[in-house]
Structure 1
Amino acid sequence: MTAGPVSFDGAARRGGPDGFRSGFVCFAGRPNVGKSSLINALVGEEVMITSAHPQTTRRAVRAILNAPEHQLVIVDTPGVHRPRTALSERLNDTAAAAFAEVDVVGFCVPADEDIGPGDRFILDQVRREAPKAKVVGIVTKIDKRGRERTAEQLLQLSELLGPGHEVVPVSRQSPEQLAALAELLVGLVPEGPPWYPTDQVVDDSDEARVAELIREAALGRLREELPHSVMVVVEETERKKDLWVVYASVFVERSSQKAIVIGARGSVLREIGIAARSRVEAAFGTRVHLDLRVKVAKDWQRDPKQLDRFGF
């Protein structure tokens, strides 16, 4: 199943033991507060792409945290922001759709940035779109600040959320804090059988995952405004004995950007391909050959027809 704007119609309840808990959780927050990294840490696999660039997450993808007593389906969403393009508007719509259908919302703020109007704007949207969901406060990136600063942020977040809301600090490097967060979330979802097979860790198509891994590699190599203009589409795949051949297109918005992505004598595209191949082989456990082509889709972030074509 390919994850687009969140709808849980594709997930079906499966039989489970008595006392088993299962439900849907969504992390909300400004772009680049560490939501995707936190999900990867909880699941124990790199199922979500990450980068230092804001708005890296563009789709709602469901990661699945399985244990003998529970199953948490954690929905990764784009960070909510004030829209500047048609793409921005659709990303906010994707996040809003996710809020509307989950049992718990983890409201994330980073320890190293002050709580401000952007956070209040997102919290208002969460409460409007998810009036029945339980809200938990999460202070992320606490390894970037000392205990005193983290304590101040926990207090400010608690005051923002109001009485009756749990607030917890989390570092993805701390197994104890991750376990405590998972335990808190499990206690807030209802009893019931699992929604997915208990050996499944992500609800996404192979092609969509590969496209995102290629984009992650591109984001790691490109700078300034260019990352926002990059879109990757897997056009075709082919199995050849023990080799998986993937044909993918890297789209940008202008010819000048195409030249940057390709680089002198193809040097930049070659670096992207090497990094992406390593990520894909690690994720799928097979040898991979990537055939990457760079194409121009003029101003695609502002073009509704092209956004439809790219699945937004």
Structure 2
Amino acid sequence: MKCGFAALIGRPNVGKSTLMNHLLKQKISITSRKPQTTRHRIVGINTTEAGQVVYLDTPGMHQSDKRALNRYLNRAADTALLGVDVVVWLIDGLSFHEYDEVIFKKLELAGLPVILAVNKVDRIKDKEQILAFFAEAQHRFPFKHLVPISALKNTHLDALEKAIFELLPEGGLIYPEDQITDRPERFLCAEIIREKLTRRLGDELPYTLTVEIELFQEQPGITKIYAVIWVERSAQKTIVIGKDGEMLKKVGTDARLDIEKLLDRKVYLQLWVKVKKGWSDNERALQGLGFND
């Protein structure tokens, strides 16, 4: 059997979380159209007759180190290259961007086999452009495979999975064959709530909020979840709650329905919004809120 670890890396918002969810055929990582939705290194485990791939979905590699949260995201992305067997570098167009030069250097230092996956190829009408870009890319770096894919539409994901398995070492299962992630249910529930907030709110606010589960209690026939949405300013609290509490109600309904699917049982979800000034630029506050990968 082939068993090992595969890191999914790339700039923010190129589709890493969507790709992992489709490879697993189950939603583990939250997604949105806003960059930097993924904040933690998420493990997704796919076991087949051929073996087991342990995918690491990572925060997007980016340049900003202005806040403690940004520095944490960069560390989480960089450490994904430690101890893995293969790297899947995901890009979403037929060109490399400025920050990709930094990624090239990181991959050269890591010395790992790398697969270049070009996402969203369903948007490219002239397929000859893909071949020309692949030829150019192969001159830039010794990629083991170059695969055009569409994560959202499941295009060529079988070819990508085959390429990943080819580069994995032989060995026994790393996780039990029925395990899909190493994250506890309460973490996944907090992520679902944050996903609904990210999708409902404006462009800036999602980056200054986080979600903490204060109580996760399983009772006969129902799971009770009490969660706090932390923001940095009182004005943000007002936006999250919305007029007459409408925004918070919509987020709560969206999240509860998804959590019930995840847990396969009835859920009672209670949300509060509280202010913790400057939490995103405070190392100690970040650790207290679970940013400790």
Where on the TM-score scale, by shorter chain, does this alignment land: which range? over 0.9
Out of 67, 74, 88, the position equivalent to 2:70 is 88
Out of 260, 273, 289, the position equivalent to 2:252 is 273
Out of 5, 16, 20, the position equivalent to 1:39 is 20
> Structure 2: how far apart are the matches of 1:160 and 1:245?
53
> Structure 1: how far apart are the matches of 2:30 and 2:5?
20
Q: Which amino acid aligns with 1:65?
A: N
> Structure 1: how far apart are the matches of 2:113 and 2:242?
48
Q: Does 1:242 find its partner at 2:242?
A: no
After TM superposition, the structure 1 = structure 2 runs for residues 120-135 of structure 1, keeping only pairs within 5 Å, are: 120-128=101-109, 130-131=110-111, 133-135=112-114
The alpha-carbon deviation at position 156 of structure 1 amounts to 3.8
Q: Does 1:144 find its partner at 2:126?
A: no
Superposed CA deviations along residues 95-138 of structure 1, whole A, max 9, x for unmatched, are: 11110110001111102x6312211112212332x22x211111
Q: Does 1:108 find its partner at 2:87?
A: no
Out of 246, 264, 267, the position equivalent to 1:288 is 267
Superposed CA deviations along residues 35-57 of structure 1, whole A, max 9, x for unmatched, are: 01000010000111001111111
Q: Does 1:75 find its partner at 2:56?
A: yes
SS in 2 for 1:99: coil
Report the TM-score when normalising by structure 1: 0.89
Out of 21, 27, 32, the position equivalent to 2:2 is 21
> Structure 2: how far apart are the matches of 1:175 and 1:304?
39
Distance 1:28-1:241 versus aligned 2 partners, 3 A rule? same
After TM superposition, the structure 1 = structure 2 runs for residues 216-235 of structure 1, keeping only pairs within 5 Å, are: 216-235=195-214
Partners of 1:28 and 1:106 within 8 A in 2? yes
What is aligned with 1:185? 164
SS in 2 for 1:190: coil
Distance 1:156-1:268 versus aligned 2 partners, 3 A rule? farther
C-alpha RMSD of matched pairs (Å): 1.5
Distance 1:173-1:294 versus aligned 2 partners, 3 A rule? closer
What is aligned with 1:65? 46
Superposed CA deviations along residues 147-206 of structure 1, whole A, max 9, x for unmatched, are: 2443444344333324x5311111124546111110110010100001001011111011
Q: Which amino acid aligns with 1:136?
A: I
Superposed CA deviations along residues 60-81 of structure 1, whole A, max 9, x for unmatched, are: 1110011022100000111111
Q: Which moved more, 1:73-82 or 1:238-247?
A: 238-247
Report the TM-score when normalising by structure 2: 0.94
May I ask how many residue pairs the two structures share in their alignment? 289
